[in-house]
Structure 1
Amino acid sequence: MADPTTYRPSPGSIPDAPGVYKFRDATKRVVYVGKAKSLRSRLNSYFADITGLHPRTRQMVTTAASVEWTVVTTEVEALQLEYNWIKEFDPRFNVRYRDDKSYPVLAVTMNEEYPRLHVYRGPRKKGVRYFGPYAHAWAIRETLDLLLRVFPARTCSAGVFKRHGQIGRPCLLGYIGKCSAPCVGKVSADEHRDIVEDFCDFLAGRTDAMIRRLEQEMAAASEELEFERAARLRDDLGALRRAMEKQAVVLGDGTDADVVAFAHDELEAAVQVFHVRGGRVRGQRGWVIDKAEEMDVKDLVDHFLTQFYGEQAERADDPDGGSPVPREVLVPELPADAEALGEWLSGLRGSRVSLRVPQRGDKRALAETVTRNAGEAFTQHKLRRAGDLTARSAALAELQDYLALETAPLRIECVDISHIQGSDVVASLVVFEDGIPRKSEYRRFALREAAEEGDVASIAEVVRRRFYRYLKENAEGAAVDPDRPGIDPETGKPRKFAYAPNLLVVDGAGPQATAAADVLSELGITDIAVVGLAKRLEEVWLPGDPDPVILPRTSDALYLLQRLRDEAHRFAIRYHREKRSKRLQVSALDGVPGLGQARRTALIKHFGSVKRLREARIEEIEAVPGFGRRTAEAVVAALAGEPVTTGESGTT
């Protein structure tokens, strides 16, 4: 644990100007990024009496070993630089408003001859219209199910569309009237595009004219005694009204806005966002985050807007697909740099964005609703587990205590081996920092040397390979830049194996722990603690000790080790299944004359799977580089289960 006074800059050396600063730990890794109107005032606050600091800030300044800063000319530049650095370095003490995956939207591929409606996650693409975001994918599918009877547009993938065009029969949706079946020519490309454009108009909020048109058509059909058509139109109207009820109008002026609210205490904060498009609530999302330092609502708004819209704008690479930044952002309080934030958001959108606090009317009422949702989410979070940060800190402190470590193990790595009776032996390496999985630093290994010698030898091989890379990368980094040995000079990002853990956990008992410790000793690494975690009785084994350490069953430390071990096991099993699946796919082609390992692999790579290869024609297989007519025929015959002949004699 570092003493902040050892790296405190002299007060006169810090400029009294706006800028962005970075705290680095002893390995030169960035652990925190912040911005300030006055660097001198902000940085001096970190070196005040340590007992008076926010708990998270206190942990950060004692983990750091140096601080550096960059002066900028405007607050907008500071916002952009802070966001870029947080994204580049992914500092452990910065709050990140990230989801495991982006929220789903309803995508309409207007760039295709026959546009498709489907659920989509990920970056925006040129020529595609997007509606959303929605809170859940099932909400999109539910909406589609209601609207397809009125707008029978294509929803199938390109492969399904092509296949039904080849066989000349529509899919089930085409038979039940929920697709106009353009794949078999029931409607032309222009007629299908008209259906899709009507669908887009409806979702864009132009519903009144469509409802009136259907009502007039229903009345006309009734007058002409076409009662079946009138009944069908009546059902279509009902479907449209049910779809509209699911997206109730909350702002009658057709506003496009995001409404943001917070609930917080000293250590944590909950944020809720309602996405209003065309006056309707299209989606809702929320997070509960640990505070990096002392923050009021204005600071929370500042951090949230910068990170959330920065991430969203990067996914939207095409303005035609719709900007993720709305025309208005309604917040509970304006941050100190509200003008700069508004300018930055306007730059992301490409047009003016209004950042303001709603004062009256429907917008104020909606903001109060979002605030109640944030408060409810925060209460539920507290009830689930009293202070997740507190529990993680307690777990790390307990591990330090039980294992007699010099410091709390802020970074823990765990190794697990997976195989079936010695075949396809693989290993996983997972990383937890501050008790949280850091999935970007997970690694997996295909074992070669020790695969047939058992788990102990396999553990030794993984530890040797991992820490050999650690020593090599740090030696290479020190030769290039002694002040930043763990940073790649070309990318400016940490090298893959540049950081060592405080604690290494191996799945197993005493022999596995001893093997890992012996490898570290051979490599000259003496500052990493090693333990083994045995599954049967959840015993913790130290290298060379005849008896295990028994942690209390209810302790947060044991719970953390179990989570770590289970995550390593999950990651290893996943890799093992991938390898085994590929091997079994290739083995399905065994026995085909003239087909060696390289060409079997080439076939699987070209078609993607044995299933697709079975569906391929001889001409398609013949088109793969290195394949002739005779070999293609042999492949088709083998996969069909027919006898394969060789040569002219016809022997099988």
Structure 2
Amino acid sequence: MESQDKAFDARAFLQNLGSDPGVYRMLDRMARVLYVGKARNLKNRLSSYFRDRDQLDAKTRALMSHTESIEVTRTHTETEALLLENNLIKEHRPRYNIVLRDDKSFPYIHLSTEERFPRLGFHRGAQRRKGRYFGPFASAAATRDTLNQLQKLFRVRQCENSFFSHRSRPCLQYQIKRCTAPCVGLVDEKAYARDVRHALMFLEGKSEEMIDELVQRMESASQTLEFEMAARYRDLIASLRRVQARQYVSGSGGDVDVIAARSGDGVGVIELFVIRNGQSLGSRTIRPVHGADASEADLLRAFLPQHYLSRTGRKRPVPDEILLSADVDDVDLLERAITEQTGRRVPVRSNVRGERARWIAMAVDNAELAHRQAIAARTDLRDQFEALRDLLDLDDIPERVECFDISHTGGESPVASCVVFGHEGARKSDYRRFNITGIKAGDDYAAMRSALERRYARLQREEAPLPDLLLIDGGRGQLQQAMEALEALQIEGIALAGVAKGVSRKPGLERIVLPDRKESLDPASNSPALHLIQRIRDEAHRFAITGHRGQRGRARKSSVLEGIPGIGSRKRQRLLSEFGGLQGVSRAGVEDLMRIKGISRELALLIHGAFREAS
């Protein structure tokens, strides 16, 4: 606190504060935001930070030891303060706030109702396409599971339009009875529309009405001696009953989110159950950043505004009711903020009875399971980090490990990846990719040197955390590049190791190359340290390959289609859509290309010739 007093005149600062509501931001000496908080009374709230050091908890003491200045924004109401606090946390992701790790949009099922033969598909992001959207589902796995059920039950197509419009015979989905092959006319529009309507009823939670209709159709088919059709309806009804028994959490409808939190042993988890029209759309486990030492109520208090209150231009669907596993302060404030955003009242409750209490108990059970699994995974990971320290003979257990890899195809479009791991696992927000230019094609040493210099020169400028251990995917040559790059930047204190593949290049036979040892380390295939190294190296490899493929794909599209005179962006997009991608265009004949609107014979010959030359 003494250093704080020298750098910051707390008394003068507090004297000038009023009793208004507002938001405060605590900054370090580099003006980076360390913490964002809201206050009903700014003066009272901020005064609590400047009490005697012994009266502060460990987290607050650590925060104040790094705080060099405080910025304050007054607001008219507490609701405005809550909204501003939420936006600032999402923007800055301060290290002392509990921050949601995953801020992606939730997935939906999209039905393209405007088409002659509508398609069911997985959708995430802005809802710009025409049609109906169902969800949000709690996870991609739950969405795909529902799509799989729909395909079995109603046989509505799920293929892309580019695939659908170029079929000359039924695909495998027809053979395994998951599609009626409208692409080749094996089902008429009326029958297909009936399947689409049944899928809609299922997604709208009207399964009982649909089953009643199917029972009538089954009886009618039986009376007219159409026994095969009657058997089809019978099987469909039985399948619907089985799915209904798995999906329905109660007999009543309604949209409800059920949220439970568990914390302890340095791990915090949040379990979110999504219920729409009385159907469970799955659950999602969320591991907040910096939530390890927070209480259950603190986790819920941080989660609710970040999850439900919209950021600029981005809204997340809000259910009719939110159920919590514990009481949370300022729930009325959150309700007011949601009301302002949605135009309707959304109750947030924890003290409920009957079926809602059972839903909360279900969420709590799953949160406890996720919490136990997280603790077990963290324990295993901690053991691996300890084994890594012993294997590499490090003084301390590394807190932060970075790993680099290079990916290219014959020297084309080289991309370097940097992945970061800590004791909690992968830190994906710290991952970085580097597009490598200005080097000789296939020169992995120069590519590695370039990526390392760019990475650590920037970390030096920003005074960002450096790794305790740097892993390089490669042998002695790549490791030498890392040593020279760090030496040129005058960076010391980072342990280095190269991960070289064995003679047969099989997993488990890796050799670990160290700067100060001529002989490589050959850990046993069941070594926990080797398993951790493999996991980090494989993640760096995956991240590099993903980036390289994207870079290579963009380069190839540009070099072939964009280099043809007379092919603008619209024609290029039309070609890619109609043929299902660049590979389809490359395989098309001149006559096939001429069928595309705007492609003359002369232009088709140019396109065909350009791809022949490129290959």
Q: Same fold (TM over 0.5)?
A: yes
For residues 379-416 of structure 1, what are the alpha-carbon distances to aligned partners after superposition, in whole Å with 9 as ceiling and x for unaligned?
2222333497x8899999999x9579xxx998775544
SS of 2:218's equivalent? Answer: helix
Paired residues of 1:427 and 1:444 also in contact (CA < 8 A):
yes
Alignment of 1:225-624 (within 5 A): 225-250=225-250, 252-265=251-264, 267-289=266-288, 291-292=290-291, 295-310=294-309, 316=315, 324-386=317-379, 402=394, 414-418=403-407, 425-431=414-420, 436-439=426-429, 442-449=432-439, 455=445, 457-466=446-455, 499=464, 501=466, 505=470, 507=472, 526=490, 529-536=493-500, 538=512, 541=515, 567-576=539-548, 607=576, 608-615=581-588, 617-619=592-594, 623=598
Q: Kindly indicate whether the alpha-carbon contact (under 8 Å) linking 1:268 and 1:290 is maintained by their aligned counterparts in 2.
A: no
Match of 1:116 among 107, 114, 119: 119
Does the aligned pair in 1 maintain the 2:433–2:547 contact within 8 Å? no
String of CA shifts for 1:138-174, please: whole Å, max 9, x gaps: 655554555456644332211122113xx4x554555
- 1:286 aligns to what SS in structure 2? strand
The SS at the match of 2:439 is coil
Give me the whole-angstrom Cα distance separating, in 2, the residues matched to 1:341 and 1:260: 15
Deviation of 1:306 after TM superposition, in Å, equals 0.9
Q: Is the 8 A contact 1:509 1:533 kept in 2?
A: no
Residue 329 (structure 1) shift: 0.5
How has the CA–CA distance of structure 1 residues 19 and 413 changed in structure 2, closer, same or farther, with 3 Å as cutoff?
farther
Give the C-alpha shift of residue 84 in structure 1: 1.0
Structure 1 gaps of 5+ residues are: 317-322, 475-485, 487-497, 590-594, 642-652
Tell which deviates more after alignment, 509-518 or 229-238: 509-518
The residue number in structure 2 matching 1:155 is: 158
Identity of aligned residues (%): 33
Change (3 A) 1:427 1:73: same
Q: What amino acid is aligned across from residue 429 of structure 2 in structure 1? A: K
Q: Is the 8 A contact 1:132 1:282 kept in 2?
A: yes
Contact 1:325 1:348 in 2 (8 A): no
Alignment pair present for 1:220 and 2:220: yes
SS of residue in 2 equivalent to 1:246: helix
- 1:610/1:620 CA distance change after superposition, 3 Å: farther
Instruction: Give the counterpart letter for 1:203 in structure 2.
Output: L
Q: Is the 8 A contact 2:512 2:520 kept in 1?
A: no
Contact 2:271/2:284 (<8 A) preserved: yes
Q: Secondary structure at the match of 2:309?
A: helix
Cα 1:614/1:502, change in 2 over 3 Å: closer
Structure 2 equivalent of residue 130 of structure 1:
133
2-side partners of 1:293 and 1:46: how far apart?
Answer: 22
Secondary structure of the corresponding residue to residue 27 of structure 1: coil
Within 2, Cα distance between the matches of 1:625 and 1:11? 79
Matches of 1:423 and 1:147, distance apart in 2? 43
Give a deviation string over 1:102-141, Cα, whole Å, max 9, x none: 5543322234443221233334346443334445656555
SS at match of 1:26: coil
Which whole-Å CA distance do the structure 1 matches of 2:610 and 2:383 have between them? Answer: 59
SS in 1 for 2:356: helix
Matches within 5 A, 1:618-633: 618-619=593-594, 623=598, 628=603, 630-632=605-607
Q: Take 1:298 and 1:41, find their aligned partners in 2: how far apart are those partners? A: 22
Give the C-alpha shift of residue 234 in structure 1: 1.7
Retained in 1: the 8 A contact 2:378–2:423?
A: no
Shift of 1:308: 1.8
Shift in Å at residue 299 of structure 1?
2.8
Change (3 A) 1:514 1:8: farther
Distance 1:215 1:464, change over 3 A: closer
Q: Distance in 2 between matches of 1:136 and 1:298?
A: 24
**Secondary structure of 1:443 counterpart:** strand
C-alpha distance after superposition, 1:167-219 (max 9, x if no partner): 4x554555776545544556666764554233222322223332222222323
The DSSP-based 3-state class of the residue aligned with 2:497 is: strand
Query: Who is 2:75 aligned against?
Result: 72
Matches of 2:138 and 2:492, distance apart in 1:
44
CA contact (8 A) 1:414 1:431 kept: yes
Q: Which amino acid aligns with 1:365?
A: R
Give the C-alpha shift of residue 305 in structure 1.
Answer: 0.8
Change (3 A) 1:267 1:579: closer
- Given that residues 586 and 601 in structure 1 are in contact (C-alpha distance below 8 angstroms), is that contact kept between their aligned partners in structure 2? no
Query: How far has the Cα of 1:65 moved from its partner?
Result: 3.9
Partners of 1:229 and 1:506 lie apart in 2 by 63
Residue-by-residue CA offset, 1:18-50 (whole Å, 9 max, x unaligned): 322223333322233222333344434445565
Q: For 1:331-390, what per-residue CA distance to the aligned partner results, in whole angstroms no more than 9, with x for missing partners?
A: 1334221111012223343322111224321111221222222222212222333497x8
C-alpha deviation, 1:442, in angstroms: 0.8
**Structure 1 pair 467–224 and aligned structure 2 pair: CA distance change class (3 A):** closer
The answer as to whether partners of 1:260 and 1:370 remain within 8 angstroms in 2 is yes
Aligned length: 590
Quick one: distance in 2 between partners of 1:138 and 1:269? 23
Please name the residue that 1:493 is paired with. none
Q: Report if the CA contact (8 A) 2:260-2:360 is conserved.
A: yes
- 8 Å contact from structure 1 (residues 264, 378) kept in 2: yes
SS of 2:79's partner is: helix
TM-score, normalised to structure 1, is: 0.73
Aligned equivalents of 1:630 and 1:422: distance in 2?
30
3-state DSSP class of the match of 1:209? helix
User: What residue is the counterpart of 1:478 in the other structure?
Assistant: none
Deviations 1:588-646 (A, max 9, x none): x8xxxxx997779999986442333213524268957996454345458779x9xxxxx
DSSP-derived class of the 1:274 partner: strand
Paired with 1:75 and 1:470, the residues of 2 have a C-alpha distance of 38
Task: Give the 3-state SS of the residue equivalent to 2:165 in structure 1.
Answer: helix
Q: Give the equivalent residue in structure 1 for 2:506.
A: none
**What TM-score do the two structures reach when normalised by structure 2?**
0.77
Structure 1 CA distance for aligned equivalents of residues 562 and 359 of structure 2: 66
Looking at structure 2, the residues matched to 547 and 49 of structure 1 have their Cα atoms a distance apart, in angstroms, of 55
Contact 1:534 1:540 in 2 (8 A): yes
Tell me if the contact between 2:101 and 2:288 (Cα under 8 Å) persists in the aligned partners. no
Residue 419 and residue 299 in structure 1: after superposition, are their counterparts in 2 closer, same or farther (change >3 A)? closer
Alignment partner of 1:124: what SS? coil
